A = this chain, B = another copy of it.
Amino acid sequence: MKNHLKKSHYHADMLSVEEARERIISKFHILNKEYSSILDSLGQVIAEDIYSKIMVPPLDNSAMDGFALNNEDIVSASETNIVYLNVVETIEAGRIPKKKILKGEASRIMTGAPIPEGATTVVPFEDTDENQQKKSNITKIGIKLKTEKLENIRTAGEDIKTGEKILSKGDIVTSSVIGISASIGLDKIPVFRRPKIGVLSTGNELLSPGDKIKPGKIYDSNTYTISSLIKSYGGIPIIEKFSKDKVIEIESKIENFENIDLIITSAGVSKGDYDVVKEIMENKGQINFWSVNMRPAKPLAFGYVIIKNKQIPIIGLPGNPVSAMIALDKFARFAINKMMGKRLLDRPIIKAKLDSDIINYDDRRFYARVYVYRNSENIICARPLENQSSGVLTSMHYANGLGICPSGINKLYKDEIIDVEMFNWSENITEIINLKKDN
C-alpha cells in the first residue's frame, strides 16, 4: 500500500494514548478474591496479607550430616588432639530425638533432624573419624575440630516466625511465593480472580483456520492473536466464533458473554456501512467512540453492553491485525492487569540508533515496527521494517519493538537516537538490554 495520505486527516480533537488509557482504566476495578490451588496461581496477585501459623523450621535442626554435641566438650579438639565422645543415638530428619546430650556425649545427626536437648553445635562428618568406623554400630566418635556454639545449626523460626506476615496483598505469585505458601502448610492461597475475557471477531469476509479457503475470504487471525495475548497477560480468553456483520448474529453471540468481565471485539468500529459493533453497543448499552492520536489503531470503541441486567465493559478494537494487537496491548492489557490487581506498567523503553528514516505522514504518534539489535560496534540499533501497513501481520513477527515517533513530528532521521518500546513478548529482549555488554 502506498502511503500518500494527506495531512488533512489529522483532527485536533483526538485523545492521546494516555488519555484514552486513563478513561478505560478508570472504569475497571480489582476483581474479587478466590482461594486458588498454589500450583494454579502462578502469575496471579495475593489478595490479602498472609500470616504464618507455624515456625519454619519448627525446631532447631542440623544443617549438616554430623554429630550434635555440647561445644564446651570440644574446646580443645584438633587434628592432633582428637576428643572422643560417647554416641547415644542416631537422629534422622522428621523424628524427635529420644536422648538428651549429657557431658561427654554426642548424637549422630542427619541434615534437617532436630537438635537434641543439651547439644549446642554440630560437627560435620568430615571433621570426625566417622569414616574410619562402621556406621551402623558407632559407640565412640573422635572429634577433630572445634566448632562454635550454634555452628551448623539452623535455629527454629530462622525462615518464618509464628504470627509473622510472610506475604502481602499485592505480591505477585512467583515460584518462591508458591514454595513459601507450601512451607507454612497452605495448599490454597487467596488471590484476585483471573478475569474472563470474551473474544469476538466480526466480518463477512472471515473463515476459520482449518476451513477450506473461498474466493474473497480471509482467515480470522484476530481471534487467535487476541486470545493468546490475553493468556499471556494472565486473563482467561472465552472465544465465540467470529460473527458476520449482522446485528442479530453479533447480538446473539454477545448474549453468551453474560459471565464475562470484559468483552473484546475486533473490526466493525470504523465508519463503513458494516461497522455494526458500534450499533450494538449503542443499542444495548453505551458507546464512546474515540479517535486516538496514534498509528496504527486510531479508531477505538469503548463502552458497555447490558446483558441480563449486568453492565459488561466492551473494548472494540480495529479490525486490521496489527492495529488490533497494538490497541489490545496499549488499552486492554491495562484493564486486565487492573482487574488482576497487578501494577500497571508500560512496556520497557530503550534508546536505539535509527538505521533509516521513519516518515510520519499524518501527525499522529506513530508506533513504527522496528527490529532492535546490537551492531558490530555494540551499539543498540533499530531497523524500521519496510512495510508499515497495519494489515501486515508478519511484520509483528519480524519486529521486536515499536519505534516511537511523537505526534507532530514528520520524520525521524537515520542515525537519530529514538525511544523504542520493546514488545517483551520474546526472549530477545534479554540479550539486547543486557547491560553487561555496555561495560
Residues of A with Cβ closer than 8 Å to B? 1-2, 4-6, 9, 38-39, 42, 54, 56-59, 63, 65, 90, 92-96, 110-114, 125-126, 135, 145, 147-148, 150-155, 158-160, 166-167, 171-172, 174-188, 203-211, 213, 215-225, 227-229, 231-232, 237, 245, 270-274, 319, 321, 325, 342-343, 345, 347-351, 387, 389, 391-394, 396-397, 419, 424-427, 430-431, 433-436, 439
The 5 closest A-B pairs by CB, nearest first: A94-B205, A179-B225, A187-B210, A94-B204, A65-B272
Asked if residues A434 and B348 are in contact (CB atoms below 8 Å), the reply is yes
Q: Judge whether A271 and B65 touch: CB under 8 Å.
A: yes
| Chain B min CB distance to A244 (Å) | 8
CA gap between A396 and B351 in the complex, in Å: 31
| A187 adjacent to B216 (CB under 8 Å) | no
**In the complex, A181→B394 CA distance in Å?**
10
Residues in B with CB closer than 8 Å to A151 are 1-2, 4-5
Chain B hits for A2, CB < 8 A: 148, 150-151, 153
Supposing A94-B217, A179-B225, A349-B434 touch, asked if A112 and B205 sit within 8 A by C-beta, the answer is yes
A219 / chain B contacts, CB cutoff of 8 Å: 182-185
Q: Pick the contact of A154 from B1, B90, B342 — CB < 8 Å?
A: B1
Q: Is the CB of B95 within 8 A of A204?
A: yes
Please, which residue of chain B has its CB at the minimum distance from the CB of A183?
B221
B-chain residues with CB within 8 Å of residue A167 when the two chains form the complex: 397
Majority secondary structure, A binding face:
loop
Inter-subunit contact B93/A203 (CB<8 Å): yes
A-B contact pairs, 28 of them (CB 8 A): A1-B153, A1-B155, A2-B148, A38-B209, A39-B224, A42-B228, A42-B231, A56-B393, A57-B391, A65-B273, A92-B245, A94-B206, A94-B216, A95-B216, A112-B218, A154-B391, A158-B391, A159-B393, A167-B397, A176-B225, A176-B393, A178-B228, A179-B225, A181-B224, A185-B209, A186-B209, A348-B435, A350-B435
Contact B90 A392 (CB under 8 A): no
Known: A1-B153, A392-B158. A65 touches B95 (CB 8 A): no
**Chain B residues closer than 8 Å to A160, beta-carbon distance:** 394
Measured CA separation A313–B42 after assembly (Å): 27
Check A39 against B227 for contact (C-beta < 8 Å). yes
Q: Are A394 and B223 closer than 8 Å at their CB atoms?
A: no
Known: A159-B394, A178-B224, A182-B223. A216 touches B59 (CB 8 A): yes
Residues of chain B lying within 8 A (CB to CB) of residue A350: 434-436
Instruction: Determine whether the beta carbon of B183 is less than 8 Å from that of A110.
Output: no
Chain B nearest CB, measured from A207 CB (Å): 7
Q: How far is the CA of A54 from the CA of B216 in the complex (A)?
A: 12
Complexed CA–CA distance, A349 and B179 (Å): 25
